Structure 1
Amino acid sequence: MAIDFEIDDEVAALAARTREFVRDVVIPVELETGGSVHDGDESVRRGLQDAAHAAGLLAPQLGREWGGLGLDMRGQSVVFEEAGYSLLGPLALNCSAPDEGNMHLLERIGSPEQQGRWLPELGSGRARSAFAMTEPAPGAGSDPRALRTRARRVEGGWRIDGRKWFITGARGASLFFVMARTSGEPGDAGGATLFLVDGDNPGITVVRDLDTLDVGLFGGHSEVEFRDCVVPDGAVLGEVDRGFEAAQARLAPARLTHCMRWLGLARRAHDIALGYVAQRDAFGDRLANLGMVQQQVADNEIDMAASRALIRHAAWLLDTGRDAGNATSMTKVFVAEAVGRITDRAVQLAGATGTAGDLLLSRYWREVRPFRIYDGSSETHRWAIAKRAVTARRTAGEVA
């Protein structure tokens, strides 16, 4: 089985243009704002996305019929890494979470009416979206089967009641993707349905914005209440009671695109640290010439290369229609922990300066740390990987 990691000339050229755009347009805005966009300043978002649109870089993941550039997962792995070189790069290209994953889900399972209504709006940046699945304990978290938000039949549609939190970009979102239980009880494996809910529905209340470690995702993370939130039958995304299965069309690719973007930011942190140790003198020599410094530099290079290889392999599996569940879980665990190691070493290499805001290294460290929890914790993915391995071993039978 030949694995094709070849990047065609068109994608390579797009990646080069993205690199230049991030360097010349995005990084100056990042330095001005400190990379913090959790307050949802639309002037920053619209300014960056207008510039990306003018440069022909907007929505690289979205199909061309909806105004995007139509990249497959392998193409995205190259371009998203370049976009992720700045905290604000993915926002500028309109390929950041949660919109990127939501567009992908709509392309995969949305009805023609749903696609026509929302994909041009989301792809152009005229609208933003949120994915409302996670709930306060004892509701759905790493275990989605604990889902407690309920949707009940009413005349002409459904009424959604429940509470969600850690909902990225909820404040100001034009569209919510809401997971609600339509049958069964919390703990049951099935019985969930995905709904598309307009952001101006009177049954939606953003209760509060959460004070989280990361502030680099637009609009931050919020707690949201759905009370007497009535939607028509046409709001069902996919099939009733098949929401968990439908979400898989989003979750595996979305966790992989997270890895692409964070790898870009880790590379930026590494480059900043390299620039520091190449100029700083200590103990009679440049820091870059000291053995312990070189070990950390080398370990960063190894972590980046391994992360990129895992990402490209999982992207190839998705592009060729193969089962990528295990590969994306492995990639998510490794990359989430690798980018943490890379940014942590970068802070260490820069010494006290690395902890200050002058270099933004401490901001990058804070941004990547939650990735070991978001989109399935490392522990959850390890459990799934081990479970698959044990199942495969039992299926193969005992070795004599």
Structure 2
Amino acid sequence: MGTELSVSKLRRTCDPNLLKCKSTSELTPLQEIIGQKRAVRALKFGLDIKNHGFNIYVAGYPGTGRTTAVKNFLDKLAQTKPVPSDWCYVNNFDDEYTPKAIELPSGKGKDFQKDMKAFIEDAKRSLRKAFESEDYSVRRELAIKQVEAKRKQLIEKLNIEAQKEGFVIQGGPLGLMLIPVINGKPLSQEEILALSPKTKSEIQEKRSQLESKLRSAMRQFMDVDRQAHEEIDKVNREVAMYAIGTLVDELASRYVGFPDVAAFLKKVQSDILDNFAQFIQNPKEQQQSQMPFQMPWMREGALRKYEVNVVVDNSQETGAPVVMASNPTYHHLFGRIEREAQFGALITDFTMIRGGFLHKANGGYLIIPVEDLLRNTFSYEGLKRAL
């Protein structure tokens, strides 16, 4: 038989006098997981495993606070762990399609990025000053004069031999030419054709002998020109090295103990010595020489290869990172490579590499909602390969 109940018996009421506060705003929110002792023990046990290949799956009814509880638990644990390294990408001067990854202590990544930016600006000023100096002008002029003197000696020697055989050497569109001389007067083509067959035969025979010497002299001219270029290149490299050597040494001294940085700076120095011209162009001349529709980032593209791309920056972390992958798409998890449009084509380089959740959680903890992960097939397959 049923029992009749009053409304007061169907409603549970709490006596406010039993609570030691006037409102819930005076209470400190609970940060621990309530009523899940076995789950907490399992979580601690799993997190204490240091070997690779172990991950934790948390199950439960939706809306029970699984994600919040796990994140709060990890936030506490992360504060007891060391801050992981920063990761940077730099240009690979040997193969630009495979950039170099550099690991640095927390906070050093941004410092390295700023230091390289300042170094390039200092290198611009120092190189322009060095190549506009009087000393450089004198050394370059001396090298050019020495080459001109050698060329003059070769031409004079060849002229003397040609005059003995009745010829004079003249420059033309195709190079040096042998012109026959009779009675001190160079002959034109028409005058040569009007000569007797015997005279023309003698001229042709002598010309053939001189042309062999002329070809030999032309090879010597090429050697002299090559030596001139080598001498000027040597002067240029010495001046450029003088301009940036101290800057490179100063920057390298800040990163003693980081062999990857030392190797990168060595490559940077070598590349600047090979391409110093892109640093010394006058800004006004550079602006005039560029096309009117070029964007600023296109004008600075030549120097972009010296930049540092900080993919993971842990400078603001106080412990191990705890990353919540709220939308675990493939690019969000594994990063992406951005592209820029130039003249109708998409181009990219190492400065456009962007890190994903896995990069940011490296050395820490990554929380992924499994339902969202399984909805992204490529993300799930990629995550299995990555882990």
TM-score range, shorter chain: under 0.3
Higher relative contact order (CA 8 A, sep 6+): 2
TM-score of the superposition, structure 1-length normalised? 0.22
